[in-house]
């Protein structure tokens, strides 16, 4: 429990300091002011390994995971940082994309989410949450491995939202393989088309819609810096996304459009039990991080909010890590 504030506290802190703390609490998106002001041990905030062994067919559903991931459904509090903005998020049904969608909506942005039709159950949950935020929410299912669909996705999002000024390229394919000898050409194409080609196609289609002040945020990964041997093709795409981000930031700077990336470490998402990790490894997923656990999507959403907002107006071509202490950006 938090100790009661004394008269001396009032004299030392004063109303201006209290107001600043209240503002900071709101900006960080924490669930309630008193707990947000307390020190909270990051090692103990969320579930730690060992986890129950579990597998799902690709692409996986967050609703079937044990424990269920925390996307900020109950905890994220907005403060109007994205009022009037219009965002398209790929992979917005679960994981990091879902957390970003919830955070954006609660910050006042209209949001369109893309996802595979097989993920409809998760997407419906997200759409309900976005509706509760009283913003314009649009569901745009489809496979981004198709260039024509990618162009249509962007045009539909811009039409239905009445414009577009935030693009989050987040959807990804990850499938663990022990050896390069186990990766087929079909596997390689699937990973590269989802992670890299689609990012290129969607971004190219989005740029004509973006005005000065707009923001593009790409999801890279810690494996771009410290590649996992079982994620050869995935690691290659995430490293390419880093250079894509840095190069595009230079191209678009004279248009007033910022381009940045987020590099997550191990995060507890539907990507993992649906082939992203070997089942035996999943039971200890995140245990080897300095914090001793995987991240939850709710913990990384504030980075996306920051990069989308005007508060990051001098930030472009950068990569922000959330890795639990592992080597990253």
CA distance 162 to 247: 29
Q: Is residue 213 within 8 Å of 165, Cβ to Cβ?
A: yes
**DSSP string across 21-68:** HHHHHHHHT-S-HHHHHS---TTSSS--S--------TT--GGG-SSP
Is 234 annotated in the active site?
yes
- Sequence-ordered strand ranges (E) for 92-209: 110-115, 137-141, 166-169
Type and span of the H or E element at 237: helix 232-252
CA distance 272 to 266: 9
Residue in 278, 61, 287 with CA at minimum distance from that of residue 176 = 278
DSSP 228: -
Partners of residue 295 on adjacent β-strands: 267
**Hey, CA dihedral for 71, 77, 81, 86, is it positive or negative?**
positive
Of these residues, 46, 76, 115, 234, which one is catalytic? 234
CA distance 294 to 288: 9
- Residue 11, SS3? helix
- Residue 262, SS3? strand
Partners of residue 163 on adjacent β-strands: none
Residue 217 region, left (φ>0) first, then alpha (ψ -120 to 50), else beta?
Answer: beta
Helix pair angle (198-206, 147-161), 10° resolution: 40
Type and span of the H or E element at 95: helix 95-106
Catalytically annotated residues: 234
């Amino acid at each position: 429990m938090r100790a009661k504030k004394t008269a001396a506290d009032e004299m030392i802190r004063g109303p201006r300091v209290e107001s600043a703390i209240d503002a900071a609490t709101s900006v960080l998106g924490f669930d309630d002011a008193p707990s947000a002001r307390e020190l909270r041990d990051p090692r103990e905030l969320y579930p730690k390994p060992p986890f129950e062994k579990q597998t799902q067919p690709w692409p996986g559903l967050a609703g079937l995971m044990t424990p269920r991931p925390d996307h900020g459904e109950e905890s994220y509090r907005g403060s109007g940082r994205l009022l009037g903005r219009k965002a398209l998020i790929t992979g917005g049904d679960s994981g990091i994309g879902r957390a970003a969608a919830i955070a954006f909506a609660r910050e006042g942005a209209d949001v369109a989410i893309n996802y595979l039709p097989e993920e409809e159950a998760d997407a419906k949950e997200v759409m309900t949450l976005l509706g509760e935020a009283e913003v314009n929410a649009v569901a745009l299912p489809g496979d981004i491995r198709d260039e024509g669909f990618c162009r249509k996705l962007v045009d539909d999002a811009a039409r239905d939202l009445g414009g577009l000024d935030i693009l989050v390229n987040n959807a990804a394919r990850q499938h663990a393989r022990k050896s390069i000898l186990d990766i087929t050409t079909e596997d390689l194409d699937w990973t590269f088309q989802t992670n890299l080609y689609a990012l290129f196609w969607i971004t190219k289609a989005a740029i004509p819609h973006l005005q000065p002040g707009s923001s593009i945020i790409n999801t890279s990964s810690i494996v771009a810096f410290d590649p996992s041997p079982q994620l050869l093709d995935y690691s290659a795409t995430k490293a390419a996304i880093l250079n894509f981000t840095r190069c595009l930031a230079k191209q678009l700077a004279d248009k007033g459009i910022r381009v940045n990336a987020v590099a997550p470490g191990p995060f507890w998402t539907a990507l993992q039990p649906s082939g992203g990790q070997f089942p035996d490894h999943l039971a200890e997923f995140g245990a080897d991080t300095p914090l001793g656990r995987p991240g939850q999507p709710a913990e990384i959403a504030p980075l996306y909010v920051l990069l989308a907002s005007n508060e990051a107006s001098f930030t472009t071509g950068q990569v922000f890590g959330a890795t639990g202490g592992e080597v990253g950006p």
